[in-house]
A and B are shown apart, each in its own frame.
Chain A
């Protein structure tokens, strides 16, 4: 966490959502601090962490907001969807109910987040092979139907955690850079240093946007 706020080209706000106990906080701590706690305390309200990655030689800083899973906190957590350009919607591959609730979380995003938010469905706890309750193909098909990207991760053994964040950040980056080529922002060029948040608003005919070909 040595990166200073001013040493980045892009700043993307991403939210982690999904049912209680699916491992959102551990995905975050694995990605930002390379830490994992088998029993980590429940998240109260919202917690925050950041990490920067490189894409195409650009530094992309992810500002990640980890939200509480319990229904009662929705009123509070929904406030954090504003300005988010990406969402990791997490379920537990060993608990079918957390997968069934994905639809509810999608509705939640539709109601409160920017309509162009990039969503990635994440099946976490892939290390629990013997307890698997959600088939990979089933989730993959669901993701395709709904225009989401999809990945399975394990915060415990680190499988795909970096990749998941890398994929979603790259996807957002592609959309944003496309957008900038198409209609440059007011003024001559962008000045990333001053950009607090970047709104992703691809138009319908942006053909590089993967998720839109499915709609």
Chain B
């Protein structure tokens, strides 16, 4: 997380020029380990953000009732987001140095699960308490959330997993959807939720032009087959909620529109916000959403939409024409593995495996297709806690994921065996602990290369070694 100095400029800068998720440029020199949050710095922080939500500058809120989104405006907004993202990712810095050392696990002993052929199946009903759901942690969260928490503090605590009981509110805060400032929360939430439903009214339930008809058509094909093994997602009510979320997101992001896979990225938000309304910790997998009040369903849907929007703003170039963001990351992943584990890299190359063949789906779906849903949700804790660094962090998660299977991969001696394994990695029995390991490894990789900003380009091999 960034120091307080960064935090101050964080809000101010982005109010001016980024219509999407704030992606602050970081000055490498001011980036330091975050100090314990003294009262002075917290007050500074509070002062610096107290006006952030007061102004009517929220990119989504102003005058929605009377304004139509012009295509031109939204296109230029999308371009803006893309450009900013490009610039910030070029000046990318590592900034998560405030993690406790215990999170960096060196040469951890990992219990390997024997390989199961075929594609991974998601388990139907399993809500065993995960490691992040311990009492002590919950207490720390509850203490922190009782007041207006500082974002860096919340990120720090969330990085290693958020207890299910406070996950909803924490995710809203981490996404930048819900203001940190306690007093403003209700008002903002109410307005945002209302705005979403105005958008739905205006764009979903009206005549679509050809482009929008195509989008709608594709969404309608994809939503029913999202999670075939989980009963929740077979409910018509749930499917319609997803269709609306995806459609509204798409027309607001014409540079990409709906791309297959984005539906999977709604899922964690949807489940977490649904869980807030499920009594007695019943499993969400079989929960009948029709038993909820309409108002409750409306909240789940609107909040999923806004959090998804914030979340995707940082990685929109993954989904634009030719998917340049992903192509670039595939290349970076290859460079990284080549440096971190030459053996594995050579092994893959020797058998004609190209990184695109397996990592495209990883990057496009942020690993949702490779993991059971409960693990995806835990992974999202860390993704969201990474905040603006998320768009680079998940590359390291993919690298750590590949390295995790190193032994199994080295045992495969031909192209077919390798690719089939890579497309069907046996994660069925994974729990939060595997994800904690994974993100810790990813963090380690990131730190290893943190001081060599050009470590991913071919020419600077020596930069990080010196």
- Which residues of A are at the interface with B, using a C-beta cutoff of 8 A? 1, 4-6, 20-21, 33, 37-50, 63, 68, 70, 72-73, 75-76, 79, 196
Contact = CB atoms under 8 A, between A and B. Distances in A.
A180 to B, nearest CB: 23
B221 A45 contact: no
A44 B261 contact: yes
B365 A44 contact: yes
B357 interface: yes
Nearest to B222: A42
Contacts of A20: 218, 221-222, 260
Interface in B300-328: 319, 321-323, 326-327
Contacts of A46: 357, 360
Contact of B364 (A44, A47, A48, A49): A44
Given A39-B228, A73-B260, A45 B322 contact: no
A68 B262 CA distance: 14
B260 A70 contact: yes
B260 A44 contact: yes
B188 interface: no
A76 B356 contact: yes
A73 B322 CA distance: 7
B117 interface: yes
Interface residues of B, number: 38
Nearest to A197: B352
A75 B320 CA distance: 11
Contacts of A76: 323, 326-327, 356, 360
A49 B420 contact: yes
A40 B218 CA distance: 15
B373 to A, nearest CB: 13
B235 to A, nearest CB: 13
B260 A72 contact: yes
B227, B228, B257, B416 interface centre (most CB from chain A within 10 Å): B416
A40 B361 contact: no
A75 B257 CA distance: 16
Contact of B259 (A43, A47, A72): A72
8 contacts: A39-B225, A41-B226, A45-B356, A48-B357, A48-B423, A76-B356, A79-B356, A196-B352
Contacts of B423: 47-48
B369 A41 contact: yes
B415 interface: yes
B118 A72 contact: no
B283 interface: no
Helix, strand, loop or mixed for chain B's interface? Answer: helix
A50 to B, nearest CB: 5
B438 interface: no
Interface string B254-268: 001101110100000
Contacts of B228: 37-41
B132 interface: no
Contacts of A79: 356
Interface in B174-230: 218, 221-222, 224-228
Contact of A72 (B321, B414, B417): B321
A1 B226 contact: no
Contacts of B361: 44-45
Contacts of A1: 117, 416, 420
B419 interface: yes
Counting from the closest, the 5 A-B pairs by CB-CB distance are A5-B414, A45-B360, A39-B228, A39-B225, A75-B322
Interface string B121-163: 0000000000000000000000000000000000000000000
A6, A68, A70 interface centre (most CB from chain B within 10 Å): A70
A45 B370 CA distance: 14
Nearest to A50: B416
Nearest to B364: A44
A46 B360 CA distance: 8
A47 B370 CA distance: 13
Contacts of A45: 356, 360-361, 364
Contact of B224 (A39, A44, A49): A39
Contact of A70 (B259, B365, B369): B259
A66 B75 CA distance: 33
Contacts of B321: 72, 75
B282 to A, nearest CB: 24
A21 B218 CA distance: 9
A42 B419 CA distance: 19
Contacts of B226: 41
A63 B352 CA distance: 14
A48 B420 contact: yes
A26 to B, nearest CB: 11
B360 A44 contact: yes
Contacts of A43: 260
A42, A48, A76 interface centre (most CB from chain B within 10 Å): A42
B416 A42 contact: no
A48 B352 CA distance: 14
Given A41-B228, A42-B222, A4 B414 contact: yes
